[in-house]
Amino acid sequence: MSKVTCTHCFAEMPEAFSFCGYCGTSLTTKDVQSTRSEAGDLRDVTILFADLSGFTALSEHLSPEQVRDLMDACFEGLGGIVTAHGGHIDKYIGDSIMALFGAPIAHDDDPLRAAEAALAMQAFMRTFSSSPGESRDGIAARIGLNCGTVFAGAMGASARRDYSVLGDAVNLASRLESAAEPGTILTSADFKRRVDMRFAFGPPRSLTLKGKARAVEAYELLHERSPSLIRHGQDGEPFVGRHKELEALTRLLGDRSATRRWIEIRGPLGLGKTRLANEALANFAPVRPIFAPSSTATARRPFTLLRRLLQTIWRDLSGEPQQAINRDGFFEVMRPLTGPRDRTLDAIWYVAAPDNHDKAVADTDTLTFRLTIESGVGHILAALAAHEQNYILFLDSFDQADDDTRDVLKRAYESAGQPLPAVITTVRGDAIPARTATDQIDLGALDNMAAHALVQALTGSASISEQTQSDIVTRGGGVPLFICELVRAISEDLRDAPSPPGTANHTIVPGSLLSVMVSRLDRLDPFTRRFLAICSVQGPEFSLSVSTRAWALTGGERIDLDTVITTLSDRQLITATKDDAEQYLFTQVLMHNACYEQLLQRDRRHLHRSVAAALCDESGSGRPAPPETLAHHYECAEQWLEAADHNVCAGDQAAEIFANSGALMRYARALKALEESASHADPARAREIERGAHGSAARVCLRVGNYPSAQSHAARLLALSDTPVQMAEAMRLQAAAITLSGDLALSARILTQAATTVDVTSADPKWTRVRRDIALDRAEVTFLRGHNHDAANLIREVRRIPDASDADRIRVDILEGRIAHANGQFDDASRLYSEAYNAARHCGSLSEEAAAANYMGNAARDAGRYAEAETSFRRALDVWTQTGKTESIAGAHNNLANLAMSRGDDGTASHHYGQALTTFKTIGHTAGCAIALMNLAILANERGNPTHAITCADEALGHLRTSGNQALLGVATVIKGEAQIEAGLLSGARATFESVLTCSTLSAQPLAIAGAQRGMGRVALALGEIETARQSLDQAVAQYAALRRVQEEARTKLYLAQALGRAGRHSEAASTLHSARQTLRDIGAERDLARSANLVLNPSAQ
């Protein structure tokens, strides 16, 4: 037999019944709650327990019928009070009553109603027990009150299911009732907090209650305060009463003296931050605001806010706000802002393009790509300010912006050397630091006068009593949002139950904002509310089409969508966004929270699963969903494999734009999602996802310098490997982390082992890729270990591997050039660097273009072609400056300092070296620090300060001893020996040079060996060991000549000329001196040329 549910007591009755058999309520009117009572929901409810004491004693001298009549009379009075205050009698338990306020129907002020009912019940009991002529002495009530979140719904067996609530809040209310004295009302601290403004309480009591591990704080409810004693809150906000802040904001916007203006409006939720900014922008004419708000959705994905900002700028400049964005149209409008920088525009388009557009990373180096984006944003903002002074960026709810957008804007405004558009941000509380802001406006609560003015403005011509208006001001606490919601809720109440004409309306004012929200939701019909719940699952901002698809997937009945949207919009629950007719917002974040938090956990999981499916359907129709969004819904749906898969995808996308912290967070969430499920329905897929997470995490850890974590991820990847290809790639990543940690020997062994697993005969692209990467890494490590011949052989092996990409060829050319350079083959090195440079320009890789230009400069410098070297260094520096690559700019300082020192410009050289060292130390670049210190040591030696030179050389050696970089280690040791000679520490210098010549790992470093031979010759010359000096210097000259180190060869000849002169071989000395001077004159080495002039004046000088 079909049944219907009573709208009042929620008992189930046969369908034919016209009235409820338990409470008599009519069953003919469709109840908006009946469809939701069965499934249940989570609600914020106030629970009242009342227990009657004294009946046991009366039972001794009264008949059972008399006791029943007495209890019925008592319950009739108490139950009537509960019902009169909008409560629901949950059940009668012996001589106790359990009542609910907020379920099954929520009101704006349920805690207040419960407090008033409890006091009225005690007043009734006092009258009831003292009635003359009745045997009621000693009868009293103990009452307990508590509020909290409970499960509310139909419970029981199939034969009888009743509406009730479950939860710890119910248990605590029962325990409080048991602890109360007869005739008193005992409440929890949470209940007191909600109604304290209107009711008086006794002092706090600490109670030890059954079932509670800790003591519970409780208060006795005494009475309602008189109106004169009601306390007024001190915190709040809307626009009435903000004239001072408006004047300050308008004045700041009108101040054109600052090149950048970042105004931050701060305050708690609901104080009117957005309203203040909008009012100022409306009053400040002429102005062109660029509005780009943030939400919880923007916080999930890197550069989401920047995408909104760029798209809004494009729409404003194009003059066609409704036009669909596309690449050609975007480039046409934005190119005047960036200038002829197509690579910059490519990077900007990658961020701005909708997900359904094709786009590609514009540089093979992710850091360069990220820096290109940042540079491009700076150019666009500066061009906007130059084009139109009245542009203002309004970044609402900036505390919810994604970290990457915040970082980009922060750098742009902190380093601005030219005017940028003014920025207004609204920030809730102390959510993020205010370091970027140049000005800050703090909002506080409205005072009573302003709050009253706001209430009157909102109520308009409605006849609302002065008492109700005062109550709204009191409850609103000066917070405009709260006041507006209270007025809206009361207006709806009065519209549903108006007072007679000519009378002022008076109603009970809600006690909490949450109760206002729930009350407004409870007024919706079940279908509209269910649809809104699906919308809430997407977040405060939602897609109408996704909600509609999800509704269908959940089996929802066919609905009139236009009617539903109209209803929700008219009730000011949702509003359409400006730029997309399919996108809607909850008018208040708290309304979204109230709607979502009432869903049961199982319902949330089901709806998140449906929303994810709907998003996937949309992706199939050309509107791809961001993987971060899908990962969020799958996590909430506890579909762990899907959550893990989409987190890895989101991490890979973040890594593409150098959003490294976001990428690592996503990989960690993927691994956590895999752990959440004890067993997987598809273990092979789970293993594949885990491999992807560990492999990607290892690569990002290598990028950010977290080498221990990189090794850990690579080791786990190796353990998960099922094929030789996977094993080889895992070992390669392990070796890369070990290489950067400084243990080159171990890295070489691992790479050799990885190479043995490679199938050199396979044409599988995976094998080809891994084989090439391993061979390149082996060549690099072999070169760093000083085995140049073996490294060159490995390079030849790499070149034989087919299907190389442009990036592969560039990397091979540069590495082979470095090997040739180290061997003194400068022409070959320059040719290879030039080929890499041209290839990089052709394929659009800024990072490789700059690197190749820098290497070209090194080769030209070492060959003595200083003008050519400076051209190449400036070319590299120009590219690095475009991208802001700090490490490379520091390297450029080193190179320019070397040139300055060669020309005798010590001041310029010292400046550049100092800047390079500071930068390298800041970013923790060990080799860079060592090179800068070595150059400072050489400079100190040249300037006659050998003690400082020794200190710098020792510090450089400290950086290098554990690095495994033998080439730099050998050169640094020679530099220290040179400084020891200048300091007169000849025996120490000889020992230093001998350590280079006798060290097996340094013997393969020809540059270091040449320097040590020259040093031994100089020591012998200083000690008068002329023949020994001549032999050592002769060897050094030959070695530098073989290395094509022209300047070093000429310098060494100066010392050789001295040795020949002192040996009496004056003709040879003069010829050697002339050859050296000619070379130094040709390359413009002014300092060394001056030294040679001194030798002419005093050829026998020591």
Task: Give per-residue pLDDT as tens, 469-499.
Answer: 888 887 777 888 888 877 877 766 665 555 5
CA atoms of 365 and 397, how far apart (whole Å): 33
Cis-peptide, bond into residue 340, ω within 30° of zero: no
Q: Are residues 960 and 1087 in the same domain?
A: yes
Q: Are residues 393 and 317 in the same domain?
A: yes
Q: Are residues 25 and 127 in the same domain?
A: no
Flag whether 670 is in a domain: yes
Distances in Å between the Cα of 757 and the Cα atoms of 652, 752, 800 are 27, 9, 18
| Residue scoring higher pLDDT (1074 or 505) | 1074
**Strand 96-101 vs strand 41-53: parallel, antiparallel, or unpaired?**
antiparallel
Q: Are residues 100 and 6 in the same domain?
A: no
Q: Are residues 59 and 71 in the same domain?
A: yes
The residue-averaged pLDDT of 1029-1054 equals: 90
In the chain, the amino acid numbered 524 is L
Least confident segment among 494-503, 639-648, 839-848, 887-896: 494-503
CA atoms of 61 and 64, how far apart (whole Å): 10
CA atoms of 456 and 446, how far apart (whole Å): 14
pLDDT, residue 711, reads 93
Any alpha helices (H) in 398-447, and if so which ranges?
403-414
215: left (phi over 0), alpha (psi -120 to 50) or beta: beta
CB distance 894 to 931 below 8 Å: yes
- DSSP 8-state class, residue 497: S
Task: Give the residues across from 153 on adjacent strands.
Answer: 164
Last residue in a domain, options 442, 477, 503: 442
- What are the pLDDT digits (tens) for 313-326? 988 888 776 667 88
Flag whether 311 is in a domain: yes
Q: Give all strands (DSSP E) within 253-337, no chain letters.
A: 262-267, 288-291
Q: To the nearest whole percent, how much of the chain has pLDDT over 70? A: 86
Residues spanned by the domain of 12: 1-31
Q: Are residues 167 and 310 in the same domain?
A: no
Residues sharing a CB contact under 8 Å with residue 153, sequence separation 6 or more, in sequence order: 37, 38, 39, 40, 41, 163, 164
pLDDT, residue 474, reads 79
Residue 953, pLDDT above cutoff 70? yes
The whole-model pTM stands at 0.66
Nearest by Cα to 39 from 74, 10, 81: 10
Classify residue 807 as exposed, middle or buried by CB count within 10 Å of its CB (0-12, 13-18, 19+). middle
Per DSSP, the residues of 196-233 read: TTTEEE---EEE--TT-SS-EEEEEEEEEPPGGG----
pLDDT, residue 906, reads 80
Last residue in a domain, options 442, 472, 496: 442
The residue-averaged pLDDT of 753-765 equals: 78
CA atoms of 959 and 967, how far apart (whole Å): 13
Residue 415, pLDDT above cutoff 80? no
Residue 335, pLDDT above cutoff 70? yes
pLDDT, residue 395, reads 92
Flag whether 465 is in a domain: yes
Q: Are residues 87 and 59 in the same domain?
A: yes
Cis-peptide, bond into residue 286, ω within 30° of zero: yes
Total domains present in the chain: 6
CA atoms of 1038 and 420, how far apart (whole Å): 59
Q: Are residues 438 and 463 in the same domain?
A: no
Four-residue CA torsion sign, 578, 581, 587, 588: negative
CA atoms of 580 and 618, how far apart (whole Å): 16
CATH number at residue 996: 1.25.40.10
The total of other beta-carbon atoms located within 10 Å of residue 232's CB is 16
Residue 45, φ and ψ in degrees, nearest 5: -125, 145
Q: Are residues 465 and 404 in the same domain?
A: no
Residue 37, pLDDT above cutoff 50? no
Using pLDDT thresholds of 50, 70 and 90, give the confidence band for residue 988: very high
Residue 967, pLDDT above cutoff 60? yes
CA atoms of 915 and 608, how far apart (whole Å): 53
- What are the pLDDT digits (tens) for 509-542? 555 667 777 878 888 888 899 999 999 999 988 9
| Residue scoring higher pLDDT (720 or 354) | 720
Residue 613, pLDDT above cutoff 90? yes
Structure tokens at 652: 């890979």
Flag whether 584 is in a domain: no
Q: Are residues 918 and 953 in the same domain?
A: yes
Last residue in a domain, options 689, 717, 745: 717
Q: Are residues 433 and 500 in the same domain?
A: no
- b/e for 373-399, b at 16 or more Cβ within 10 A? bbbbbbbbbbbbbeeeeebbbbbbbbb
Structure tokens at 566: 């109209």
- What are the pLDDT digits (tens) for 727-741? 999 999 999 999 887
Using pLDDT thresholds of 50, 70 and 90, give the confidence band for residue 831: very high
Distances in Å between the Cα of 29 and the Cα atoms of 25, 410, 509 are 10, 60, 28
Residue 20, pLDDT above cutoff 90? no
Flag whether 100 is in a domain: yes
Any alpha helices (H) in 757-805, and if so which ranges?
765-784, 788-799
Q: Are residues 425 and 506 in the same domain?
A: no
Structure tokens at 1020: 């012998």
pLDDT, residue 1096, reads 47
Flag whether 752 is in a domain: no
CA atoms of 409 and 265, how far apart (whole Å): 17
CATH number at residue 406: 3.40.50.300
Flag whether 798 is in a domain: no
The whole-chain average pLDDT of the chain stands at 83
pLDDT, residue 133, reads 59
Flag whether 755 is in a domain: no
Residue 688, pLDDT above cutoff 90? yes
Helices 765-784 + 806-822 axis angle, to 10: 20
